Amino acid sequence: MKKTSIYIEDQLDEALALRAAEEGITKAELIRRTLSSAVSRPTRPRPTVGVFDGPGDGAVDVDRWLAGTGFGDHRR
């Protein structure tokens, strides 16, 4: 394990101490767990289609465009 130092505001230090006490762990352990969780979260999936990738005339002829996508077709 490597030791490191950070500067935090007094309010954050107090909040960390309170949360650690509630969970029955040391403040250092709470910080390690929180940092580990922050860096190991899976990234959010990227959209496969961009917002502006649709047809340029979608607003002009929305019914035709939606019909082509199968929107509202309950047989699917």
Q: Output the pLDDT for position 42.
A: 75
For residues 59-75, give the mean pLDDT. Answer: 74
Model pTM above 0.75: no
What are the pLDDT digits (tens) for 25-66?
A: 999 999 999 999 888 877 777 766 666 666 566 677 777 777
- Ranges of each domain in the chain: 10-40
Q: Output the pLDDT for position 65.
A: 74
Q: Output the pLDDT for position 56.
A: 63
All residues at 6 or more sequence positions from 72 whose CB lies less than 8 Å from its CB, including other chains: 66
Of 76, 54, 53, the C-alpha closest to 66 is 54
